[in-house]
Amino acid sequence: MNPLLKNESPAMDTWAIFGLWVASLKTIAHLVYMGAFQVIPEKFLKRRFARQIKQGKTIWLDDLQFSHSQPDAQQKSFPGNEIADLTPGNNFHPRKSRAVLLDAYPEPKYPFAYRCLPLSGNIINGLGENQKRPARKVFHSGDYKIAWNGLERYFHAMADKVSANVLRKILWQDRHKSVKANAKRVPIENPEIMSRHVKEAAKQLGADLVGITNLSPEYAFEHFDPIHYPTAISLAVSMDLAGVKYATAEKSTAAIMDGYQRAAFASIELAKRIRALGWSALSASNVGADTAEVLHVPLAVQAGLGQLGKHGSLISKEFGSNLRLATVLTNMPLAHDRPIDIGVDDFCTRCEICMTNCPPQAIFDSKKMVRGIEKWYVNFDRCVPYFVANNSCGICLAVCPWTEPGRGKGISLRMLALREQ
């Protein structure tokens, strides 16, 4: 019997129900606040921006409400004070892969600009740092007081209806996040068996890949203390590849947001079921990132879901990069998985497809030292403006050879065989 399956999971106790009731009221108040002070003003901003774009006028991100390009608190954290360089690369002429079903990629020309450039996102991310440290928020933060808040404000204002609706649904689902575990704890006699139960339940909830690992401090954001959640359950859901192949178009955005919603649903529901057994569990997803706790990609790598690719995203044998991630943090005793080697490093060292298909040329051709770890890294200052201007982009995910259905396992076998020669 699996106590985490829907029909077997215990009901919430009285205090948990009360906590959910309180959380629901807070979420309703938050959604009302968003509607009055964010959604409605951003609709007016969107109309204003559309007029400015049509007239060929530059949208100065410094002028947006709450926008301060160099906030004192964040500036003091980085005494080097290196400003961002949003200029696209010009090392080569970008190619156009047949994997993307548009006639051409949009050029890296933007209707927005900064008068006073912000602190480089690469510096905030820890590029060139030799010591391990927690990550700092730089974008998708919901915080309009950090260095890149002007661009984030523009991004939120220009979001399409699909993205806005998905965000509201996830915020409503996420009201369970702060609910306490049932007072009566079900003892875990065999962590390995419970780990199998967790994976079975996660897949029932829509996850395509599931792995379990320890929560390393360097994979948490600096505001979050992971001491109460020693274990991370990494979840991945595959996206609609037919939509992803229209990268930079709204059809691709719809597929990506649908993936985010399904990943968030799986993590939220799995956390609920773990709490019903009396163990603490916190759902962490990529949407509603103002409360982001962890970095999902390195946890997924550590949990054995795949490896980090040159384009900075997870690559799995089963789905390539056509994945969205979420994580459940818990203190439930579980058996941990190990990282896997499927030959991604061997392949990415030889391959240049994502790099040469990136219009702003944001993908480095070699690994970089980032917060004390040598890894593949994407130039934030070049990537994010193009991402914002072009429907969350997604080109690198679509063109990755591993993403093509049925190719991943063959590529892996070939790379591992070549290594032995």
Higher-pLDDT residue of 192, 10: 192
Give residue-wise pLDDT tens across range 279-311. 999 999 876 545 679 999 999 999 999 999 999
What pLDDT shows up at residue 173? 75
Give residue-wise pLDDT tens across range 115-144. 989 899 999 999 999 999 999 988 876 665
What pLDDT shows up at residue 66? 55
pLDDT for 245 beyond 90: yes
Question: Hey, what are 66's tokens?
Answer: 């709450």
**pLDDT-above-70 percentage for the chain:** 89
User: Taking a C-beta distance cutoff of 8 angstroms, is the pair 319, 238 a contact?
Assistant: yes
Q: What is the mean pLDDT of the chain?
A: 88
What pLDDT shows up at residue 291? 60
Phi-psi region for residue 3, left (φ > 0), alpha (ψ -120 to 50) or beta?
A: alpha
- Residue 36 — very low, low, confident or very high, per pLDDT cuts 50/70/90? low
Give residue-wise pLDDT tens across range 151-178. 988 998 898 877 777 777 777 777 777 6
The answer to pTM > 0.85 is: yes
Give residue-wise pLDDT tens across range 172-223. 777 777 678 898 999 999 999 999 999 999 999 999 999 999 999 999 998 8
What pLDDT shows up at residue 81? 65
What pLDDT shows up at residue 69? 45
Minimum mean pLDDT among 104-113, 147-156, 263-272, 337-346: which range? 147-156
The one-letter code for the residue type at 391 is N
What pLDDT shows up at residue 68? 46
pLDDT for 67 beyond 50: no
Give residue-wise pLDDT tens across range 349-384. 999 999 999 999 999 999 999 999 999 999 999 999
